[in-house]
């Protein structure tokens, strides 16, 4: 048996049913107050006449499915807490479910010698009190800026980026020497507008597709944040640089990019510090949809959150301005 200490109370305190549902890309509709209802995702659900049988009480952090197939498969039990739900989904024990939740949502496991008190204290620590990176960990300001960057390189037009957008972001082809040689370079700033790195996009099939400075930490910044915070309190969040360019170009300048599909603690803090509403607009593949749902579940109790699902198999940078305008609600942005 694993020696990892499981503080079941801490896991249930940290992980809500909404977070667990989002992990499985299950988004039931809110019917009233704290009640949600939707299609039951349990693997043993076989009832065709009760598809919308999953009921969730977000206040109690509990769920139930009254379908005969689910009740029978669980020995007569009609529901339970978040641990029971994951155990049913994964066909594992409650302990194994708790370990999975600890890993998925960063609930740090404690050893038995540390006991339950410290685990509970960890779980009750508000996310807003998580300290920012120390000075030693910060991305250092660059002491130079690349010159002779070609803002009109054909590659940008091929990706749908016009000259005005390229000029606004300072993105273009770098013909000089060094690690960014013959790449499309993208300046990255911290929240104060200080240049801290360049990302270099390969024009060929050579790897890496994107090159970053060795000591640069993407998790400490949100791309375009320093500009977005001047635009309002509602922001669109996308995965990549070119997603950001295209959303901006479509008329939504308050947009930031994760430079990936996960939200770090520092990025979480930056979002909540500067904005009141976030529209999550990640890629339209299964991984992007799952990541978007998990990020939304993580933020939903901290700020207003809207999830935009783009067409399956596409990315925001592949959409036209009309499509982006149709998907994004201008009333929030």
CA–CA gap between residue 253 and residue 231 (Å, rounded): 7
Digit-coded pLDDT (tens) for 55-96: 999 888 899 988 888 888 888 888 899 999 999 999 999 999
Domain boundaries, given as residue ranges, for the chain: 8-126, 134-333
Q: Which residues contact 58 (CB under 8 A, 6 or more apart)?
A: 16, 17, 18, 34, 35, 36
Q: Work out the number of other CB atoms within 10 angstroms of the CB of residue 90.
A: 13
CATH topology of 8-126 equal to that of 134-333? no
Comparing CA positions, the residue from 307, 326, 305 lying closest to residue 250 is 326
Cβ neighbors of 138 (< 8 A, separation 6 or more) are: 190, 220
User: 134-333: which CATH topology?
Assistant: Dna Topoisomerase Vi A Subunit; Chain: A, domain 2 (3.40.1360)
Stretches where the chain sits below pLDDT 70 are 1-4, 49-51, 106-137, 330-333
Pick the CATH number of 8-126 from 3.90.580.10, 3.40.190.10, 3.40.50.720, 3.40.50.1970: 3.90.580.10
Look at residue 282 in the predicted model and tell me its pLDDT.
95
pTM for the whole thing? 0.67
Q: Are the beta carbons of 68 and 74 closer than 8 angstroms?
A: no
């Amino acid at each position: 048996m694993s020696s990892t200490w499981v503080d079941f109370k801490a896991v249930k305190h940290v992980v809500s049913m909404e977070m667990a549902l989002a992990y499985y890309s299950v988004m039931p509709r809110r019917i009233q107050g704290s009640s949600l209802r939707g299609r039951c995702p349990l693997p043993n659900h076989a009832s065709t006449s009760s598809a919308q049988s999953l009921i969730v009480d977000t206040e109690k952090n509990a769920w139930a499915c009254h379908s005969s197939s689910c009740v029978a498969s669980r020995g007569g039990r009609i529901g339970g807490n978040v641990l029971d739900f994951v155990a049913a989904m994964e066909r594992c024990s409650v302990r194994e479910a708790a370990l999975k939740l600890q890993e998925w949502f960063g609930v740090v496991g404690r050893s038995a010698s540390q006991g339950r008190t410290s685990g509970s204290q960890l779980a009750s620590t508000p996310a807003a009190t998580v300290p920012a990176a120390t000075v030693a960990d910060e991305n250092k300001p660059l002491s130079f800026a690349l010159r002779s960057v070609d803002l009109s390189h054909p590659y940008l037009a091929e990706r749908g980026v016009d000259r005005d957008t390229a000029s606004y972001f300072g993105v273009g082809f770098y013909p000089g020497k060094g690690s960014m040689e013959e790449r499309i370079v993208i300046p990255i700033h911290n929240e104060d507008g200080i240049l801290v790195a360049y990302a270099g996009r390969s024009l060929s099939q050579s790897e890496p597709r994107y090159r970053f400075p060795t000591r640069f930490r993407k998790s400490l910044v949100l791309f375009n944040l320093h500009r977005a915070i001047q635009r309002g309190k509602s922001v669109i969040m996308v995965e990549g640089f070119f997603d950001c360019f295209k959303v901006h170009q479509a008329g939504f300048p308050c947009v930031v990019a994760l430079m990936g599909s996960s939200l770090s603690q520092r990025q979480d803090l930056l979002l909540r510090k500067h904005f009141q509403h976030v529209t999550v607009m990640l890629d339209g593949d299964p991984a992007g949809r799952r990541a978007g749902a998990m990020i939304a579940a993580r933020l939903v109790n901290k700020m207003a959150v809207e999830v935009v699902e783009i067409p399956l198999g596409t990315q925001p940078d592949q959409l036209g301005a009309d499509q982006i305008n149709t998907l994004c609600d201008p009333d929030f942005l």
